[in-house]
A and B are shown apart, each in its own frame.
Chain A
Amino acid sequence: MADKKMKKAPLGSLQPDPDIFDWNDLPADDVFEKASGQEKESFIQDRKSVSYWADAWRRLRHNVVAMVAAVVLILIMLFAFVGPMLVPYGYAQTIRGAENLHPWHTSLQDQLRVEEEIQRRKDVLQAAEEEALTAAALPSWEEFKDQYVAEQLAAEAAKQGGKLTRQRENILKAQMANEAGKAYAALKEQAAADKDAVTISTDEETVKKELGIGNRPFGYSRAELERKAAGEKVFPHVFGTDYLGRDRMVRVMIGARVSLIVGVCSALLVLIIGAVYGAISGYAGGVVDTVMQRIVELIYSIPEVLVILLISATLKPFLDDYQNAGKLFSGLVTMLGPNLISMFIAFALLYWVTMSRIVRGQILQLKNQEYVTAARALGAGGGRVIKRHLLPNCIGQIVTTTFLQIPSAIFLESFLSFLGVGVSAPLTSLGSMCSEALAGMYTYPYRLLFPAVILSVMILSLNLFGDGLRDALDPRLKK
């Protein structure tokens, strides 16, 4: 046999052979007295028993990843819920004159400098052009036009063989004026090019670069800068503004808020429906249980996204009517829009199946335990003990599954919003913001990055914290 690994050194014995007995080494006689009960008690070191919840909390606290995720989540929640209160702009508020601002700006002074410089350059260009023209000794526009028209008329007349009618002349004159203009411009250009005109740019960005003007953070419109200069406090557009002049940061905050609320509400919806269904199915047992489980199987195999899209397509007319009728909740309906509502409906119809299976499993366990209790006739004490032991198991799994439903729902909602079948304008969601930003992606990637990053971080933290919850609440060993 080939020896691929080194042979390990033989391990020595840790203690001298316990069979060797030194009679001379015996301890004194009094030690051979019988030990009292107290002495025996102190011998045993009891391990403190910890309650289930305390143990779970301790495990969670020591999970670094989960704790970091929790902190990030809290920050995001502050951003989404408290943020809009701090920013004086509304998410639907369009600010005139502040359209398409970038998250950076040039200060007022710098802007004036740039404008001056551009004007100066334009003047220089103009002067150079005029110089070139005089050098080229071009005729004036009037002269050129008359000459050009006359030439064209003569050529036309020659073609027709004889003089042209007055009518025809006028028509031609009108046509020629245009062409004359073009020809003249061409001549000018030619002349300017010939004269080695100075090539200086009048483009704003290039001028800025050449002047060495940097950008300052945050976006401001011209008007806002002027107000600032006048001493007014103006809140900056940290992420810039969109094509309608709406502050992007507030929209991102609201988008995050919508995503979170949708996530939590969906999770709660799934929990309630799933728990009720599962509990009934498990508790009833027998035929009822079998039938209910068959239904679950059927629902499980229906492709959910398709149904959501379907429902959203069909719901709009109904909701429009509902809104207009001014009934209960119509304000809410208007705000959410038909797509979100159809998403909730689809959740209520389809997404609860996993939860119902878990709850049913727990109920079945509970049922068996109860029978055992009844058989042993333990009395009231038994039931309470079982609830104390079994409930942590149930609740642990249910809490974890519900919590992990939140990032799933947010994922789905952003997916739908991106496709355009999510939230309706003017309400925004991170998904729809990404969708809008798609067009200008290469020139202004920041428009896409802000909502995308916040969305990903949000889902990630929720997933990580959910994983941590599961590890903490599950009494089995961590994998």
Chain B
Amino acid sequence: MPKYIAKRVFMALLTVLVVACITFFLMHAIPGNPWLSEKTPAPSVIEALNKKYGLDQPLPVQLVKYLGNMLRGDFGASIKMSKNRAVASIIAEKFPVSAKIGAISILWSVIVAVPLGCLSAYKRSTWVDSTLRVVCTIGISMPGFVVATILLLTLAGEGRPFPTMWNVNDVTWRSYVLPCLALGFYPMCYLARQTRTAMLDAINQEYIKTARSKGLKTGKIIFKHALRNALIPVITYLGPQIAFTLCGGFVVEKVFSIPGLGRYFVDSIQARDYPVIMGTTIFLATFIVVMNLIVDLLYKVVDPRINLEKGGN
């Protein structure tokens, strides 16, 4: 077990390092320098700015310096969008909103998807199953912004229960409903499908026959024996879904005008605000990698067969 944990942690760290390096080198591979889009300042000014941001030193040195700063929580400062404001503080301010919405979305999607998938598998080939399958297939075919806009058109606005935009000054539980609904819809449908397949697989296994021949009741067979085995492949998909929810948040934040990190990040890409881009990318990537690591460790809780390798039999 410790070997397994160590291996996963090592891979996680390596991934973050690779992403950081990729980000860094990409940012610095751009010709010209970041100051060019505005009125070209005088050369002396450019020099001073370069010195201030440490851009006049050789690349590897810059990389090391940047990584060092990163570990201390210093991601540099925004150049364009919020002049001179520390990227770290921007992240600290905007991330909680995105995180809250993301967490609620993933939570409700898992809580709803697993029972639905089980129901669908148990009532296979009945109208319940068919309806659920159709809904879930449609659900994974609709991009997040389509779902979000449909929700807005039908449930938000005058005389309707939910607000059309995120009002920073008046945040109630209602503000969360539509964004979380929109964001969690795709993962819910996807996970429900996976749960159904996994449950059908599990129910067809030999050990279910054994359980039946022991005289166990149907309920116990499904919820004790089949479900736990079915969760194993479903957990595999949980990691990518978390990453998806994070990125899906970009769209939802745009549609609902939520001042979260995702929207800021997308804006920074268009504004070419490099410190923000770099800092946010590395932060988000690290977050995703950490989440994946937690999910990987969850495996061990569910499946005692895991030693060094991931996966089943």
Complex A–B touching at CB under 8 A: yes
Contacts from A to B (Cβ < 8 Å): 297-298, 301-303, 305-307, 309-314, 317-318, 321, 407, 411, 414-415, 418-421, 431, 434-435, 438, 441-442, 445, 448, 452, 455-456, 459-460, 463-464, 467, 479
Contacts A/B (CB < 8 Å), 21 sampled? A298-B11, A298-B14, A298-B15, A301-B289, A303-B285, A309-B269, A312-B269, A314-B29, A407-B141, A415-B145, A415-B247, A415-B248, A418-B143, A418-B251, A419-B250, A431-B143, A431-B145, A445-B153, A456-B146, A460-B142, A463-B141
Q: A463 and B146 in contact (CB under 8 A), knowing A314-B26, A420-B266?
A: no
Would you call B270 and A310 a contact (CB within 8 A)? Answer: no
Would you call A438 and B281 a contact (CB within 8 A)? Answer: no
* Majority secondary structure, B binding face: helix
Complex alpha-carbon distance, A303 and B242, angstroms: 10
Q: Which of A311, A313, A414, A420: most chain B CB closer than 10 A?
A: A313
Would you call A455 and B12 a contact (CB within 8 A)? Answer: no
Complex alpha-carbon distance, A431 and B146, angstroms: 9
B residues contacting the other copy or chain, number (CB 8 A): 51
Flag whether B62 is at the interface (Cβ < 8 A). Answer: no
Complex alpha-carbon distance, A302 and B250, angstroms: 18
> Which of B251, B269, B285 is within 8 Å of A302, CB to CB?
B285
Complex alpha-carbon distance, A290 and B11, angstroms: 15
Complex alpha-carbon distance, A448 and B140, angstroms: 19
Residues of B contacting A435 in the complex (Cβ-Cβ under 8 angstroms): 145
Residues of A contacting B15 in the complex (Cβ-Cβ under 8 angstroms): 298, 301-302
> Which of B141, B197, B284, B289 is within 8 Å of A479, CB to CB?
B197
Beyond the given A298-B11, A463-B137, could you list 4 further A-B residue pairs with CB under 8 A, ordered by the A residue number? A301-B15, A418-B254, A421-B270, A459-B141
Q: Mark B122-148, 1 if CB is under 8 A from A, else 0.
A: 000000000000000110111111100
Would you call B149 and A421 a contact (CB within 8 A)? Answer: no
Flag whether B194 is at the interface (Cβ < 8 A). Answer: no
Flag whether B22 is at the interface (Cβ < 8 A). Answer: yes
Would you call B31 and A321 a contact (CB within 8 A)? Answer: yes
Complex alpha-carbon distance, A464 and B133, angstroms: 11
Would you call A307 and B153 a contact (CB within 8 A)? Answer: no
Flag whether B304 is at the interface (Cβ < 8 A). Answer: no
Complex alpha-carbon distance, A306 and B288, angstroms: 10
Would you call A303 and B247 a contact (CB within 8 A)? Answer: yes
Residues of B contacting A302 in the complex (Cβ-Cβ under 8 angstroms): 15, 18-19, 285
Flag whether B30 is at the interface (Cβ < 8 A). Answer: yes
Would you call A411 and B143 a contact (CB within 8 A)? Answer: yes
> Which of B150, B247, B281 is within 8 Å of A310, CB to CB?
B281
Residues of B contacting A467 in the complex (Cβ-Cβ under 8 angstroms): 137
Would you call A317 and B141 a contact (CB within 8 A)? Answer: no
Task: Please give me the residue from chain B that is nearest to A311 by CB atom.
Answer: B26
Task: Please give me the residue from chain B that is nearest to A421 by CB atom.
Answer: B269
Q: In the complex, what's the smallest C-beta–C-beta distance from B90 to chain A, in angstroms? A: 17
Complex alpha-carbon distance, A292 and B180, angstroms: 39
Task: Please give me the residue from chain A that is nearest to B287 by CB atom.
Answer: A303
Would you call B145 and A418 a contact (CB within 8 A)? Answer: yes
Complex alpha-carbon distance, A307 and B149, angstroms: 27
B5-63: which have CB < 8 Å to A? Answer: 11-12, 14-15, 18-19, 22-23, 26-27, 29-32
Would you call A313 and B277 a contact (CB within 8 A)? Answer: yes
Would you call A314 and B143 a contact (CB within 8 A)? Answer: no
Would you call A455 and B143 a contact (CB within 8 A)? Answer: yes
Residues of A contacting B270 in the complex (Cβ-Cβ under 8 angstroms): 420-421
B248-284: which have CB < 8 Å to A? Answer: 248, 250-251, 254-255, 265-266, 269-270, 272, 277, 281, 284
Q: In the complex, what's the smallest C-beta–C-beta distance from B30 to chain A, in angstroms? A: 5
Q: A303 and B288 in contact (CB under 8 A), knowing A313-B272, A460-B137?
A: yes
Residues of B contacting A317 in the complex (Cβ-Cβ under 8 angstroms): 30-32
Task: Please give me the residue from chain A that is nearest to B296 by CB atom.
Answer: A301
Q: A452 and B137 in contact (CB under 8 A), knowing A301-B292, A309-B266, A317-B30?
A: no
Flag whether B68 is at the interface (Cβ < 8 A). Answer: no
B214-267: which have CB < 8 Å to A? Answer: 243, 246-248, 250-251, 254-255, 265-266
Would you call B149 and A434 a contact (CB within 8 A)? Answer: yes
Residues of A contacting B164 in the complex (Cβ-Cβ under 8 angstroms): 442
Residues of B contacting A420 in the complex (Cβ-Cβ under 8 angstroms): 266, 270
Residues of A contacting B18 in the complex (Cβ-Cβ under 8 angstroms): 298, 302
Flag whether B157 is at the interface (Cβ < 8 A). Answer: yes
Would you call B281 and A305 a contact (CB within 8 A)? Answer: no
Would you call A318 and B31 a contact (CB within 8 A)? Answer: yes
Complex alpha-carbon distance, A318 and B31, angstroms: 7
Flag whether B114 is at the interface (Cβ < 8 A). Answer: no
Flag whether B200 is at the interface (Cβ < 8 A). Answer: yes
Would you call A421 and B266 a contact (CB within 8 A)? Answer: yes
Flag whether B152 is at the interface (Cβ < 8 A). Answer: yes
8 tightest Cβ-Cβ pairs between the two chains A and B: A460-B141, A459-B141, A305-B247, A313-B269, A314-B26, A303-B288, A301-B15, A452-B146
Complex alpha-carbon distance, A95 and B94, angstroms: 43
Q: Which of B30, B247, B265: most chain A CB closer than 10 A?
A: B247
Residues of B contacting A309 in the complex (Cβ-Cβ under 8 angstroms): 265-266, 269, 281
Task: Please give me the residue from chain A that is nearest to B153 by CB atom.
Answer: A445
Residues of A contacting B12 in the complex (Cβ-Cβ under 8 angstroms): 301
Residues of B contacting A441 in the complex (Cβ-Cβ under 8 angstroms): 149, 152-153
Would you call A310 and B143 a contact (CB within 8 A)? Answer: no
Complex alpha-carbon distance, A460 and B135, angstroms: 11
Would you call A479 and B200 a contact (CB within 8 A)? Answer: yes
Would you call A297 and B281 a contact (CB within 8 A)? Answer: no
Would you call A310 and B23 a contact (CB within 8 A)? Answer: yes
Residues of A contacting B26 in the complex (Cβ-Cβ under 8 angstroms): 310-311, 313-314
